[in-house]
Amino acid sequence: MEVMRENLFITSPERVASLFIYCLERPKKFSDFSMFFKIQTSLYYKNNFLDTLVSKGIFRLEYIGRKVYLYSLFGDEFREYYKQMIQISPMFKEARNALLKDADALIKFFDSDLFRDFWTEDLLKHFTRENFKKPDFLLGAFLAYLSYPITIFFLSEGGKEMDFESAKLLVSSNLYFTMKSFGSSLPPEFFVSLEKYFTKERLEKALILKETEYYKAMKEISMPYLKSILPSLQNIIQKLLKRIEWP
């Protein structure tokens, strides 16, 4: 069995994952992060923790005047975190193996503007410190992001006639209720943001996901299910949507 090496995303998830996701969209002031998530900066200066984060390639640090700016990087530490979380994930073996094979392709995708631009402060304000206490939350949120365009593509390949906006609503609603049933702590605003974010132009940029082993594995797993339940799923979701207040 492969020995898991110590990884800061896993051993210090609240401090690392919260800062990582905050500085993902663009370089951000460290002091602004402290106010945003109510996490004291002193926790990062203790025992040179911030210097360690930078030396391990988790962040790029730069100074503008006396202000410290940080930018999240998908380096070796993130890659090891990705692999370790996938290896212990309870997901289907086929999906797990595909994600491990796709490590290079998906980490490259995570480093794209298409992915980074989604993680705005308007979205992150719906996250709390509690979200980041579990090591798998960060990667789980990233995989939930992937699920949105992938499921849209599944619908288009399934031959179901549906207008674009209806398909987007169906997918965001389905993902929310499905992940909630599996104990996900992602807020409903996350799925609403996905629906708003993925325009036709952005979906075109996400077509590269179709080339991944993960896409092929999930298609084989999901398509029979989607085809069997899609007619009734639309009616069920429409009724459920009336019971909740979307932001």
Give the residue, 181 or 50, on which the prediction is more confident.
Answer: 50
The answer to whether domain 8-72 has CATH 1.20.1530 is: no
What's the pTM value of the predicted model, to 2 decimals? Answer: 0.89
Q: Across 45-191, where does the E strand assignment appear?
A: 59-64, 67-72
For residue 48, give the DSSP letter: G
Quick one: tokens of 142?
A: 């990233």
Phi-psi region of 81 (alpha: psi -120 to 50; beta: other; left: phi over 0): alpha
For residue 29, give the DSSP letter: E
Average pLDDT, the chain: 88
Give the residue, 136 or 234, on which the prediction is more confident.
Answer: 136
Rounded to whole angstroms, how far apart are CA atoms 59 and 73? 5
For the chain, the domains span: 8-72, 92-241
Helix 213-241 vs helix 164-181: crossing angle, to nearest 10: 90
Write the pLDDT tens digit of every residue in 66-113: 899 999 999 999 999 999 999 999 899 999 999 999 999 999 999 999
CA-nearest of 50, 104, 98 to 74 is 104
